[in-house]
Amino acid sequence: MAAVSGRLPVSGELRRAGAGDGEARSVSGGRLVAMRADAVGWLLDLGVHAGSLDGLGGTSLALGDGAARDLGAGVGDEIHVAWDDGTRSTFRVAAVHSRDRGFADALLQGTAAARHAADPLEDTVLVRTAPGADRGGAGRRLAALAAEYPGARVEGAEGGAPARSEGSRGAAGLFVLLLLLLINAFTAIAVVNTLGMATADRRREFALLRPAGAQPAQVLRMLAWEAVLVSAVALSLAALAVLAVLVPLSLSLTGSPVPPLPAGPLAALALAAPALTAVTATLVAATSLRRTAATPGGLAAAVS
């Protein structure tokens, strides 16, 4: 192995030393991660753009871009950490990195934070094999080691190591897909029922259009365009409601206001909604027109 390090999550409040109340905000409930300082460079590519991870130690830390921006801190500044156990520590910023989303606000040396953790057990062990090593053999040995500890699993291993994490993610994705399909199916049924009843109630309107010279095909085209217009308005309102939630979430997680949404399902939804409403409205209207025309005195009865 070239490098091995546990990953210990710790929480605490970060604040830049010497900052006034109006000068910088503190990061409450900050996500801190403790690892072996000499192994971080081998195990993680954090996108360091200021300072160096070589300076990471017992009295220094590495800040993510988000925390550095909130604190107004940079390399060389001192950061106070208020731990959950009631104690406080001071660290110097050794590096600032860009890949902090979903990882941590601050990265510290393992022993500097372990004694402040509510649960000192590391949840993950990161391993990197040495250049030229038998990765397949290493993966099999790690899998055999994990089998001795209930709940432990090996991820990203090669050479016969179990891919249970991939299977779990695949099963979870399939469950979410089935759930979304069921939700869309029930929504489509509700739309068809509501639109069908609303269109059937307009039978008198259709009958009045006939003496005015409207042909059945013209009535059906009118209803189809009405359905498309209603769908466009509904989709626009739905998009505004969804973006009101997703844009702030995307900003907080990725730093970009554009949510990473799949284009394929969105395009299918945008095409399926107008098609469903247009088909439902025209079929119900066509049935109403045929029944009115086929009944003796049906036109007069519908108008009256």
Beta bridge partners of 63: 96, 106
pLDDT of 237 reads 92
151: left (phi over 0), alpha (psi -120 to 50) or beta: left
Query: Length of the chain, please?
Result: 304
Q: How far apart are CA 232 and CA 227, in angstroms?
A: 9
pLDDT of 292 reads 62
Read off the pTM. Answer: 0.52
Query: pLDDT 10s digit of each residue in the chain, 304 long?
Result: 888 888 888 888 888 877 655 555 667 667 888 888 888 888 888 888 888 888 888 888 888 888 888 888 888 888 888 887 788 888 899 889 888 877 888 888 877 777 787 777 788 888 888 888 888 888 888 888 888 888 788 876 554 444 444 555 667 778 888 888 899 899 889 988 988 888 888 888 877 777 777 788 888 888 889 888 988 998 999 889 989 998 888 887 766 788 877 888 888 888 888 898 889 888 888 887 777 654 544 544 544 4
pLDDT of 100 reads 80
Q: How far apart are CA 304 and CA 302, in angstroms?
A: 6
